[in-house]
Amino acid sequence: MRSRTAPPLHTEAQTCADPALATALKHANMREHQCLVGGVMNSRILAVVCLSAWIAGAAHAGDATGTPPKYGSWGYDAAGADMTSKPGNNFFRYANGTWLDRTPIPSDKPGVSLRLLITDLTEQRLHSIMESAATHATAQPATLQDKVGAFYHSFMDDAHVEALGAKPIAPQLDAERQATTRDALAALMGRTNVDFEGSLFNVGIDVDLKDPKRYAVYVGQAGLGLPDRDYYLKPEFAKQKAAYQAYVSTLLTLAGWTHPETAATDVVAFETAIAQASWSKVEQRDPVATYNPMSIAELQQFAPGFAWPAFLKAQHLSDLDRIVVGEKTAFPKLAALYANTPVATIQAWQAARIADNAAFYLSQPFQNAYFDMHDKTLSGQQAQAVRWKRGVHAVSGGDCSAGERLDCFGNLSWAVGQLFTDQYFPASSKAKIEQLVTNLKAAYHARIQNLDWMSPQTRQEALRKLETYTIKVGYPDHPRDYSHLIVRSDDLTGNVTRAADADWMFYVDRLNGPVDRSDWSMTPQTNDAYNGSLRDIVFPAGILQPPIFDPNADPAINYGAIGAVIGHELTHGFDDEGRKIDADGVLRDWWTAADATAFEARAKKLGAQYSAFEPLPGVHINGDLTMGENIADLGGLTLALDAYHASLHGKPAPVLDGMTGDQRVFLGWAQAWRGKLTDDAIRRQVTSDPHSPRAFRVNGVVHNIDAWYDAYGVKPGDKLYVAPADRVQIW
C-alpha cells in the first residue's frame, strides 16, 4: 500500500524522499512574529537578539523552577564522551565515544540513539492512549478515541488474527488469478493506494511545482520489493537478493500460490528487469528532470503497452486530463517490460506484493517471514518487537528503518496525533517554539545579506523566498475528519484498507480545489522535521524534546541542537534541490549564471569530501545522494553558531565545567546525533537514504567551520584537519 501524497521535499531523519513525486511507501512496513528593528532586519546581530533572548530566557526559567536538564548538569551528558580521544581526529567519537561503547543496540531495533529515546517515550505514551481507548471501544465505534481503540484492539487480538491465516487477502489473490489480461492486471495495480496490491508506477497528489496555486497528480517508477535498484544489480548485495527470493517463495507458499519456488524465481527476475529500467536515487533528486507534464493521451503514446486509463480509473482519476511524469526515460522501458512479460509472472509478482504489503497484519508465519527479510536481513535487527509495539505502529505509524521516526505508514496517524497532542503538547509550548523558529528565520535573512559570493540580483530573490516560508509547530491547526471512517474491532485488514481508502480520497477530493497551505505532511507524534513543497518548515511535537530541545539546558547546547536543526530546515530551501524553486513555489531558475556556477562549485567540493568518508570498510557515502542534507547540516550549524555569538552581546561566554561557549555549541550538535546502527542498516542507509550516517553528520560539518578549529585547537596532522582554503562555506 502506498503513501497518498508526495512526501516533504526534505526531512531531518531517514526518509524515502523523492522530490515532487509520490513515493512508493508500504503501509505494511513496520516499516509570525518578526524580530524587527525599525521594520528592517538590518544586521546579523539585531536579527538574532530575539532568538538568543528566548533561548536564554527559557534556560533561566528552568533554573528558577529547579528543574534540571535531562542530560548532565547543563544539558550535555559528559559521562558519554570519550575525552581521551582527540577532537581533531574524530569529533563524533570525542563527544560520544563512551556512550557508544557501553550502549548495545536493542535486539528489536536496527539502531540505538538519544533520538530513539524520544521515540521510545512517545511510543509508551501512545501505548497508554491506545490501551485506554481500547477498553472503551465498541465493536463499531463512533468517536475518534474509540476508533483508535477499536483499531488497536483488532491488531492485539492475536488469537483472531492467527485463526484467519491467509484468509484476509484471499479476495485480492483471487482477483489476481481471475485477471488474465494485462488490462485487467493494470486496473488491479490502480488499487495500490487503497489496498495491498503493488504497482509498476506509484501515484500521488501534491502541489504543482510549476503552478503552486493548484494540485497536480504525479506518477513515478515503482515495483521493487527491495530498498533500491542497487540491491538487484550490484554483486555486494547478492546475499540479500538471494534471501529476498527465498522470502518471496515463502510468501507465495503461505498464500497458497501454485509452484511458489518457480514463481519466486520469475518474480525476482521481473524485478531485476524493473531495476535495470529504473532511475538511481541520485537521478531522482533532480526536481527539474522529474517534472514532465503530459496529457493522458500523450502518456499513452509515450509509454505504450500499459493500460493507463484502466490504471487511473481504479485510482478514482478517470477524469484526469494532465499528469506529471517523474523518471521520464524509465517509463517507456517499464511499459514495454510489462507488455512483454508473461501474464502468469505478473500475477505471481502481484501475489507476492499483496502478501508482502499485508504480512504485518496477518498471522505469525507471515509476520515472521516479513521480520526475517525486512528487519533482520536488510537492517540487522535481531529480534521482533513485542506485539503491543507493533500494534502502536500499526495504528499510529512506525519505524522507517532509522530506528527513530514514529510516523511512517500508520493507518490512523492523524487521529492518533490529535489524541497525543491534546494530552502531551500544550498550546504554550507551541507558541514558544513558533517564536524561536521565526527568530532564527530572521537570523538567516541577515546571513543571506552578508554572503560574499552572491550577486544582488540573486540575493534579492533569495531573501524574498525566505520571507514566504510558513513555520508550523506541534500539530496542524485543522484536524482530519474521521467521522465517516468505519473501524471494526474484529477486522484488522479491513480497517487497514478502509483507512487507506479514506486517506487517498482526502487527496483526490481536493485535487481540483485551492491549495491548502495549512496542510501538513508529517504527523504530530513524529520525531522529525521537514521543509516541504508548500514552502513550509514543520516541527512536530514529537521532535521537540531533549536532546533536540531542552528549556532547562544551557543556551549553547540548545543552539547546537534545536537551533542547528531549525537552521538545517531553513537551508533546505536553498540546497541543490531547493534552490531550483522560487519565492512563489514555482520550479524556476532564478539564479544568475555566475551565482549558480559559484554555488555548484562549492556544493561539488562538499560532495567530494563526503564521498571520501567510509562508514564501513569499502563502503563509501554517496556525496551526490546526500548532497542536500549535507548542505543543510553545514548551513544549520553555521547559522546556529552565529546566533549564539550574537546572544552574548559582546560579552565573553560563560565557561561551564571547563567548556567554552563555542565548545558547548559543537557538543550540542554532536549529542543530538549520538547513536549507532547495525552494519546492515548502514549499508541500507548509504545505498538508499539521502542522509549521511550520524558520525559524518558531525565530523563532515565541523571540519568546515573555522570556529571549531579555534575551539578545540585542531592543527595540521589531525585526521579531520582541512586547510582553510579547502573548507567549504556555502550559506
What average pLDDT does range 654-683 have in this prediction? 97
What is the pLDDT averaged over residues 682-688?
95
pLDDT given for residue 27 in this prediction = 33
CB 133 within 8 A of CB 145: yes
Q: How confident is the model at residue 46 (pLDDT cuts 50, 70, 90)?
A: very low
What is the DSSP pairing of strand 675-677 with strand 536-540?
unpaired
For 80-87, the CB contacts below 8 A with 24+ separation are 80/671, 80/674, 81/667, 86/718, 87/712, 87/713, 87/714
> Which backbone phi and psi does 614 adopt, to 5 degrees?
-120, 100
Three-state SS for 256? coil
Instruction: Kindly provide the residue ranges of all beta strands, DSSP E only, lying in 194-312, ordered along the sequence.
Output: 201-207, 215-221, 292-294
Q: How far apart are CA 473 and CA 544, in angstroms?
A: 9
Give the mean model confidence (pLDDT) for residues 233-239: 97
Q: Is 390 exposed, middle or buried (0-12, 13-18, 19+ CB in 10 A)?
A: buried
Residue 362 CB neighbour total at 10 angstroms: 27
Q: How confident is the model at residue 25 (pLDDT cuts 50, 70, 90)?
A: very low
Does the structure show a pLDDT above 50 at 22?
A: no
| Bridge-based pairing state of the strands 530-531 and 10-11 | antiparallel
Residue 658, by phi and psi: left (phi above 0), alpha (psi -120 to 50) or beta?
left
pLDDT for 360 beyond 50: yes
Q: Return the C-alpha cell found at 344.
A: 502468469
Average pLDDT score over residue span 322-337: 98
> Residue 285 gets which letter from DSSP?
T
Our measurement of the distance from residue 77's CA atom to the centroid of its chain's CA atoms, rounded to an integer in Å, reads: 27
pLDDT tens column, 489-536: 999 999 999 999 999 999 999 999 999 999 999 999 999 998 888 889
Q: State the CATH architecture for 44-118+426-474+510-726.
A: 3-Layer(aba) Sandwich (3.40)
Res 23 pLDDT > 50: no
Say whether pLDDT at 682 is over 60. yes
Q: Inform me whether the pLDDT recorded for 15 exceeds 50.
A: no
Residue-level pLDDT at 646:
79
Q: Which residue has the higher pLDDT, 237 or 139?
A: 237
CA dist 630 and 328 (Å) reads 27
> Which grid coordinates are listed for 386?
513485542
Distance CA 711, CA 521 (A): 39
437-449 confidence digits (pLDDT tens): 776 777 788 889 9
Sign (positive/negative) of CA torsion 649, 50, 636, 697?
positive
Under DSSP, is residue 116 helix (H, G, I), strand (E, B) or coil?
Answer: helix
**What does the mean pLDDT of the chain come to?**
89
Tracing cell 544568475 back to the chain, one arrives at 592
Mean pLDDT of 592-610: 97
User: Would you state the pLDDT for residue 470?
Assistant: 87
The position carrying cell 555549541 is 665
pLDDT beyond 50 at 403: no
pTM over 0.85: yes
Q: Is the pLDDT of residue 435 over 80?
A: no
Residue 58 has pLDDT above 50, yes or no: no
d(CA 666, CA 704): 12
Q: What is the pLDDT of residue 176?
A: 98
Using CA atoms in the order 480, 485, 489, 494, what is the torsion angle rounded to 10 degrees? -110
| pLDDT, position 49 | 34
Average pLDDT over residues 614-629: 97
The pLDDT confidence band at residue 48, using thresholds 50, 70 and 90, is very low
For the chain, the domains span: 44-118+426-474+510-726
Between 410 and 468, the more confident residue is: 468
Rounded CA separation 79/74 (Å): 13
Mean pLDDT over residues 329-347, rounded?
98
- Indicate whether 99 pLDDT > 50: yes
Instruction: Give CA–CA dist 119/13, Å, rounded.
Output: 12
Q: What is the pLDDT at residue 506?
A: 96
Q: Which of 352, 399, 360 is nearest to 492 (CA)?
A: 360
Find out whether 335 and 222 touch, Cβ atoms under 8 Å.
Answer: no
Predicted pLDDT at 440:
74
The pLDDT-based confidence of 695 (bands split at 50, 70, 90) is: very high
**pLDDT interval class at 562 (50, 70, 90):** very high
pLDDT computed for residue 436 by the predictor:
67
Predicted local confidence at residue 427, as pLDDT: 73
Cβ proximity of 306 and 277 under 8 Å: no
Alpha-carbon distances, residue 303 vs 52, 279, 327, 336, 473 (angstroms): 55, 16, 12, 8, 42
User: What does the pLDDT read at residue 439?
Assistant: 67
More confident residue, 47 or 642: 642
The residues pairing with 472 across neighbouring beta strands, listed in sequence order, are 538
Tell me the per-residue pLDDT of 108-146, one tens digit each, with 9 for 90 and over.
999 999 999 999 999 999 999 999 999 987 888 999 999
**CA nearest neighbour of 517 among 150, 297, 212, 722:** 212
Weakest mean pLDDT among 346-355, 357-366, 401-410, 551-560: 401-410
Share of the chain above pLDDT 70, in %: 88
563 touches 640 (CB < 8 A): yes
